[in-house]
């Protein structure tokens, strides 16, 4: 049977993260798959292409995974066999390997040491060399994802325990990885030494532990004693026990992804001790200071820009209001739109509130400008609703370079800021003015209040082109698709 993958409508110009990962281990084994389901449900925003859950009862491991949203992939019937004490889950947006069923995670394999399942958030820049090495050693590969490479490397590594095998394998991986492993009797989590992507662990209220890409998933399950998995750390969850060990020396300078604050993370999550919603409000405040505008109303491009619009309004004194209403269910559909609807593009996803816009000078706040495909139609939509001026403000600097660490931003020729300067972008979009937050302003907002130092230890390569590690080996997203169709 062929699984039909959902059509992705091109009405979203935001960068896309690769995925969310989740793991849970309990001493009683009641409802472990349900815990994983609700953990993934809270991480749905990190990836909408596919989802999967693998469960172990101490002897046998089972997996269910498929293309689609979490709520569609898992039904009472599909979850009934997923019984056990330990589980990991994954919700995917692809950045290495095509959006194909063979790449859906977790990957589950049988090894000489028992079952092993792996789910991964991030991207290995040396995946091509690692993949070639496996092929040279006679391994057969069935997918085109770097996560399969990681799974097979772990399966073939030496060591008495999975923790030892993981510790021996980690130094070979260059790039971003927040990952969860499922063995027969435990869940293991690990994070790369640069700390590119978030990963946190917490204690469940009725015994056991859970680990997740974001704290919002742990809060959903009522977790307490929540803390980050440190860069280079291995954390083992085994029923009522948790064990932590520093497996690899953290990088001298961390490289947390600033886009987690700008766009990816859910606003109620906490990372690096900072609440995402509060940081986004500060981004808007700094943006108002750097790029003021004579205007009558501040509106966000929903949903991720709402806190920043509140901050911009508060700092500027310009009233905040809704100007765009978002259809939250249009992102993925099985129905091909007509050509006329394709040409309407943004109107499939947004409607303008003319009552709040007519005769007004509008400041429109958005979190990023990547390919420049939706900003122009949004400006036109607001003008058509009666706005007399539209001033576009972006809560991060211009994106001029691709990401190689788990964010699908496209490549140099896709990025509008790599081709055009600010004035040329303004003309292309049709706004009356265009302003981007500076790197210094962004880092000050992430750092905290005005009297605190700007945040350090973050990756800003997409703005600067200065990558924290060498990326010359990095592979295009579909670089492994040449053989497997």
Q: pLDDT, tens digit, for every residue of 377-427?
A: 999 999 999 999 999 999 999 999 999 998 877 666 789 999 999 999 999
Cα 201–chain centre separation: 17
What value does the mean pLDDT take over residues 204-224? Answer: 97
Tokens 């990190």 locate to 46
Cα–Cα distance for residue pair 48/46, rounded to 1 Å: 7
User: Is the full-model pTM beyond 0.85?
Assistant: yes
Q: Say which residues have a Cβ less than 8 Å from residue 427's Cβ, sequence separation at least 6.
A: none
Cα–Cα distance for residue pair 66/83, rounded to 1 Å: 18
pLDDT at 472: 79
Max Cα separation, the chain?
A: 71
Tokens 């994954």 locate to 90
Q: Which parts of 345-438 fold into alpha helices (H)?
A: 354-357, 375-384, 416-419, 422-429
Q: Domain extents for the chain? A: 7-255, 270-464
pLDDT at 172: 97
Q: On the CB side of 418, how many CA atoms lie within 13 Å of its CA? A: 17
User: Does 343 score more than 70 pLDDT?
Assistant: no
Residue 36, Ramachandran bin (φ over 0: left; ψ between -120 and 50: alpha; else beta): alpha
In angstroms, the Cα distances linking 234 to 5, 135, 201, 326, 441 are 35, 28, 11, 40, 34
Catalytic residue set:
19
Dump the DSSP string for 23-59: EEE-SS-SSHHHHHHHHHHHTGGG--SEEEEEEE-SS
Strand 256-257 relative to strand 458-459, pairing = parallel
pLDDT at 407: 81
Q: pLDDT, tens digit, for every residue of 121-172?
A: 999 999 999 999 999 999 989 988 899 999 999 999 999 999 999 999 999 9
What architecture is the 7-255 domain classified under in CATH? 4-Layer Sandwich (3.60)
What architecture is the 270-464 domain classified under in CATH? 3-Layer(aba) Sandwich (3.40)
Q: pLDDT, tens digit, for every residue of 109-121?
A: 999 999 999 999 9
Q: Say which residues have a Cβ less than 8 Å from residue 111's Cβ, sequence separation at least 6.
A: 155
C-beta separation of 315 from 289 below 8 A: yes
C-beta separation of 200 from 228 below 8 A: yes
């Amino acid at each position: 049977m062929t699984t039909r993958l959902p059509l992705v409508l091109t009405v979203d110009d935001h960068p896309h993260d690769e995925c969310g990962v989740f793991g849970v281990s309990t001493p009683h084994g009641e409802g472990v798959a349900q815990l994983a389901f609700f953990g993934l449900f809270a991480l749905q925003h990190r990836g909408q292409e596919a989802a999967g859950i693998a469960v172990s009862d101490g002897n046998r491991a089972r997996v269910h995974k498929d293309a689609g949203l979490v709520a569609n992939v898992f039904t009472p019937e599909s979850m009934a066999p997923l019984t056990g004490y330990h589980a990991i889950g994954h919700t995917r947006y692809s950045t290495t390997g095509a959006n194909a069923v063979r790449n859906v995670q977790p990957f589950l394999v049988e090894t000489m040491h028992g079952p092993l399942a792996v789910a991964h958030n991030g991207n290995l820049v040396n995946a091509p060399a690692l993949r070639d090495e496996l092929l040279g050693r006679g391994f057969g590969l069935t997918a085109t994802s770097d996560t399969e490479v990681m799974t097979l490397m772990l399966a073939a590594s030496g060591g008495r325990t999975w923790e030892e095998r993981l510790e021996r394998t980690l130094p070979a991986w260059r790039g971003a990885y927040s990952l969860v492993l499922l063995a027969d009797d435990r869940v293991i989590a690990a994070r790369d030494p640069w700390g590119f992507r978030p990963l946190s662990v917490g204690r469940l209220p009725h015994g056991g532990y859970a680990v997740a890409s974001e704290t919002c998933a742990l809060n959903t399950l009522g977790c307490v004693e929540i803390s980050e998995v440190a860069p280079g750390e291995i954390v083992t969850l085994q029923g009522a026990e948790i064990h932590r060990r520093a497996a690899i020396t953290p990088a001298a300078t961390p490289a947390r992804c600033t886009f987690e604050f700008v766009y990816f993370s859910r606003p109620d999550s906490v990372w690096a001790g900072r609440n995402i919603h509060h940081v986004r409000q500060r981004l808007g405040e700094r943006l108002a200071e750097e790029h003021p505008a004579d205007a009558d109303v501040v509106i966000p491009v929903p949903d991720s820009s709402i806190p920043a619009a509140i901050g911009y309004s508060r700092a500027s004194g310009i009233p905040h209001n809704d100007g765009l209403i978002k259809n939250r269910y249009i992102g993925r559909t099985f129905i091909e739109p007509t050509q006329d609807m394709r040409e309407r593009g943004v109107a499939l996803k947004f409607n303008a509130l003319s009552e709040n816009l007519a005769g007004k000078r509008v400041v429109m706040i958005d979190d990023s400008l990547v390919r420049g495909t939706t900003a122009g139609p949004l400006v036109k939509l607001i003008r058509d609703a009666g706005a007399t001026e539209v001033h576009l403000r972006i809560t991060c600097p211009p994106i001029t370079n691709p990401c190689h660490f788990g964010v699908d931003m496209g490549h140099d020729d896709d990025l509008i800021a790599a081709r055009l300067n600010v004035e040329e972008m303004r003309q292309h979009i049709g706004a009356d003015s265009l302003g981007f937050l500076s790197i210094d302003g962004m880092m000050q907002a992430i750092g905290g209040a005005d009297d605190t130092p700007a945040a350090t230890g973050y990756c800003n390569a997409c703005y600067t082109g200065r990558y924290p590690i060498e990326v010359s080996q990095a592979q295009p997203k579909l670089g492994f698709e040449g053989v497997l169709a």
